[in-house]
């Protein structure tokens, strides 16, 4: 009787080990170790871009507990030894600079304790940047990506303050200061027809150029259609490509 119990338990252990090995192998095959996390610091923003995906701009911020848990999680589940990316995102993250600082300091301290490292980026509309914030970014290696929709006219069409004033002048005024802390600047452009028109040479403007190269309509037909409408409205598209009924306004 005792022999039977022992052999049943051995079979049970064997099955458990097999199941664990199979699970580990499936996880390794289909779920790669995470290496990057986007932290939505806040839904607040001082701009009112009509294409913004954050509706209503509520005074809603990430809790430190959630942010710290995310950092702990990614440290635990990332590939050993790999450097891990954190994107600080919003809304406008610099509205809650206090949260940005606490999260960065926690990540750096935790990573140091575990012999790991993080690299940081922040996407910002640039309007709130000052020496203090830029110095913090420089000291902790936080690279900033500036949201900018091309020329002043195209930028100010959408990227306005709550009072309706365009934000281009404020941002442009800060660019020399930004370059003191990060000599290269990287811009994040929302490709409205106006923004495309602002950066594409006049001689290059045509629907053939914009639609197939910027938007693959088999992937995002609705995007291609709405951009084509805007392009026709603004005169960006100068001619209709043959056999493309979706470009009709």
Closer residue to ligand SF4, CB minimum distance, 34 or 54: 54
Examine residue 228 and tell whether it contacts ligand SF4 (CB under 6 A).
no
Closer residue to ligand SF4, CB minimum distance, 48 or 232: 48
Cα 229 from chain centre? 27
Examine residue 84 and tell whether it contacts ligand SF4 (CB under 6 A).
no
Examine residue 92 and tell whether it contacts ligand SF4 (CB under 6 A).
yes
Cα 228 from chain centre? 25
- For ligand SF4, the binding residue among 90, 93, 150, 198 (CB under 6 A) is 90
Residues in the chain: 249
Examine residue 150 and tell whether it contacts ligand SF4 (CB under 6 A).
no
- Residues from 99 through 138 that contact ligand SF4 (CB under 6 A): 125
Strand order in the sheet with 36-40: 36-40, 84-89, 118-124, 142-147, 186-188
Examine residue 91 and tell whether it contacts ligand SF4 (CB under 6 A).
yes
Nearest in space to 37 (alpha carbons), one of 85, 100, 94, 79:
85
Contact 175, 134 (CB under 8 A): no
Examine residue 54 and tell whether it contacts ligand SF4 (CB under 6 A).
yes
What's the CA gap between 84 and 164, in Å, rounded?
A: 39
Compose the 28-47 pattern: x for residues touching ligand SF4 by CB under 6 A, - for all others.
-----------------x-x
Point out which span in 11-19, 87-95, 103-111, 221-229 binds ligand SF4 (CB under 6 A).
87-95
Residue bearing tokens 């990287």: 186
What's the CA gap between 182 and 142, in Å, rounded?
A: 10
Binding site for ligand SF4 (CB under 6 A): 45, 47-49, 52, 54, 90-92, 125, 147
């Amino acid at each position: 009787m005792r022999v039977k119990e022992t052999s049943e338990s051995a079979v049970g252990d064997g099955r458990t080990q097999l199941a664990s090995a199979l699970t580990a192998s499936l996880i390794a095959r289909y779920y790669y170790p995470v290496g990057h996390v986007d932290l939505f610091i806040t839904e607040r923003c001082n701009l009112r871009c009509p294409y913004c995906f954050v509706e209503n701009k509520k005074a809603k911020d990430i809790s430190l507990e959630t942010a710290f848990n995310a950092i702990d999680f990614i440290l635990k589940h990332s590939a050993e030894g790999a450097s891990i990316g954190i994107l600080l995102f919003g809304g406008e993250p610099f509205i809650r600079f206090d949260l940005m600082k606490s999260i960065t300091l926690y990540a750096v301290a935790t990573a140091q304790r575990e012999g790991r490292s993080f690299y940081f980026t922040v996407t910002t509309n640039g309007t709130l940047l000052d020496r203090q914030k830029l110095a913090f970014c420089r000291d902790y290696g936080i690279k900033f990506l500036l949201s900018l929709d091309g020329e002043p006219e195209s930028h100010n069409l959408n990227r306005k303050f709550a009072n309706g004033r365009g934000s281009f002048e404020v941002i442009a005024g800060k660019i020399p200061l930004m370059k003191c802390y990060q000599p290269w600047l990287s811009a994040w452009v929302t490709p409205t027809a106006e923004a495309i028109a602002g950066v594409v040479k006049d001689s290059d403007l045509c629907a053939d150029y914009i639609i197939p190269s910027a938007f693959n309509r088999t992937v995002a037909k609705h995007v291609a259609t709405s951009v084509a409408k805007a392009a026709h409205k603004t005169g960006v598209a100068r001619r209709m490509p043959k056999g493309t009924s979706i470009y009709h306004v």
